Amino acid sequence: MQFIMNLIGKTLIILGFGLASVAFADGVPSPVGAVILTIKGQMTQATPLEEAKFDLESLQKIGVVTFTTTTPWTEGAQQFTGVPLNKLLIHIGATASRLRVTAINEYQVEVPASDAVDGGPILAWAQNDNLLSVREKGPLWLMYPFDTKEEYRTEEVHSRAVWQVEQIELLP
């Protein structure tokens, strides 16, 4: 009898691990290419470590938006292409009221999650159809469509346009 109970117990454990791996298969897949963005914090579609990593291809699969805007850091209107911040947060099942965006040089800024709306900021990977290198403010630049709303043309919002983004932390 003890043998049968041990066998049943081991079978249930194996089934449990199998079901857990299936559950995470539906979440955020592991990137194949070079990781350019790590998101940490509470999200419903993450690994048990509450971390999601993305390469360029995985970000592109979430959605691609292109808009043209002027910025305080460039001359003339510039075209930016990237993933909409709101779609990225929906994709990972983010549960946050604020985002701490961190650049490669460790510059950090908190962005209200309420900024992530349709027609709002994107994580741009291209400017004027050219991929952003680290030297050119890449690989990701949190870019707002400054010309679309007067509320985007403030120093506070300009400070949120972080370049060389490498990490987003989801804050309560």
Confidence at residue 29, expressed as pLDDT on a 0 to 100 scale: 76
Q: Which two tokens stand for residue 150?
A: 């007067």
Tokens representing 59 are 């970000």
Query: Computed over its alpha carbons, how large is the radius of gyration of the chain?
Result: 20
Give the whole-angstrom CA distance, residue 127 versus residue 66: 9
CB 115 within 8 A of CB 146: no
* pLDDT for res 145: 99
Q: What is the CATH number of domain 31-171?
A: 3.90.420.10
Residues 124 and 143: beta-carbon distance below 8 Å: yes
- As a whole number of angstroms, the distance between CA 52 and CA 35 comes to 10
pLDDT tens digits for the chain (172 residues)?
Answer: 454 444 334 333 333 333 333 333 356 778 899 999 999 998 887 666 689 999 999 999 999 999 999 999 999 999 999 999 999 999 999 989 999 999 999 999 999 999 999 999 999 999 999 999 999 999 999 999 999 999 999 999 999 999 999 999 999 9
| Residue 16, token pair as written in the block | 């449990």
Residues 6+ apart with CB under 8 A from 82: 59, 64, 65, 122, 123, 124, 125, 126, 140, 141, 143
pLDDT of residue 17: 32
pLDDT computed for residue 12 by the predictor = 35
| Structure-block tokens of residue 160 | 């949120």
The rounded distance, in Å, linking the Cα atoms of 119 and 84 is 8
Name residue 100's beta-bridge partners: 110, 169
User: Considering the entire predicted model, what is its pTM?
Assistant: 0.82
Q: Measured between alpha carbons, how far is residue 24 from residues 36, 48, 103, 150 in Å?
A: 21, 9, 28, 41
Q: What is the pLDDT of residue 16?
A: 36
**pLDDT, position 18:** 35
Q: Answer yes or no: are the C-beta atoms of 160 and 116 closer than 8 Å.
A: no
Residue 46 confidence (pLDDT): 62
pLDDT number for residue 30 = 82
Cβ atoms 114, 171 nearer than 8 A: no
> How far is C-alpha 30 from the geometric centre of its chain's CA atoms?
13
